[in-house]
Amino acid sequence: MEERTPLGREFYARDTAQVAQDLLGKALVRKTPDGALTGRIVETEAYYGDADPASRAYRGRKSYNAVMFDEPGRLFIYMVHSWWLLNIVAHAAGEVGAVLIRALEPVDGIDRMFVNRGVSELKRLANGPGKLARALDVGKELHGVDVTKAGGELTVVEGSDEAFEIGSSHRIGVTRDLPRELRFFIEGSAFKSR
């Protein structure tokens, strides 16, 4: 597959919820020694700073979440219940935020993803944030990686021109949420988490 230009830093240097919506339909590409693993982003969630009780940045800047406060377009990787979660830092100047990539529709490197996940059903391969990280062999070593860098280990590029409608809901699995709906997904996708 021909290498495509990653989305630039300016794409991520905007309101977090807007970036979360605009990432839908884009292609996430993970380079590995065995080749590229690619998926179409079908579900995301937006997380803000200290005013967002569900955010990793809710209690302010700490060593583990510092990347959320810094340059947009970097990966924020953390573990929940033994699953790595893949987030991309996205926020307007002077703000804090990141977008959780919740689900992918597998596109390329599917055989390798099956090996990484140990499942055999395509729809279950990357239909959750921990599942997609495992399918793409994403771990802590990618924390802080710049996704805007051409040729990088993980990038986001333009997807197909296929039209779709965006649905929204409250975020999944959070005990305290904001009044706004900050989970976004491609309506009708068989690959979203729910």
- Dump pLDDT digits (tens) for 15-26: 999 999 999 999
Parse the chain into domains and list their residue ranges: 9-186
* Burial readout 45-82 (b: 16 or more C-beta within 10 A, e: otherwise): bbbbbeebebbbbbeeeeeebebbbeebbbbbbbeeee
pLDDT score recorded for residue 4: 87
pLDDT score recorded for residue 2: 63
pLDDT of residue 39 exceeding 90, the answer is yes
**% of residues, the chain, pLDDT over 70:** 99
**% of residues, the chain, pLDDT over 90:** 85
- Dump pLDDT digits (tens) for 113-135: 999 999 999 999 999 999 999 99
> Which of 53, 54, 90 has the alpha carbon at shortest distance from 173?
54
pLDDT score recorded for residue 57: 87
pLDDT of residue 1 exceeding 60, the answer is no
Q: What single letter denotes the amino acid at residue 91? A: H
- Mean pLDDT throughout 43-51? 95
- Tokens for 125? 């391969």
* pLDDT band at residue 3 under the 50/70/90 scheme: confident
- Mean pLDDT throughout 59-77? 91
- Mean pLDDT throughout 48-53? 91
pLDDT score recorded for residue 38: 97
Q: What single letter denotes the amino acid at residue 97? A: G
pLDDT of residue 73 exceeding 90, the answer is yes
Give the mean pLDDT of the chain: 94
Q: Does domain 9-186 have CATH number 3.10.300.10?
A: yes
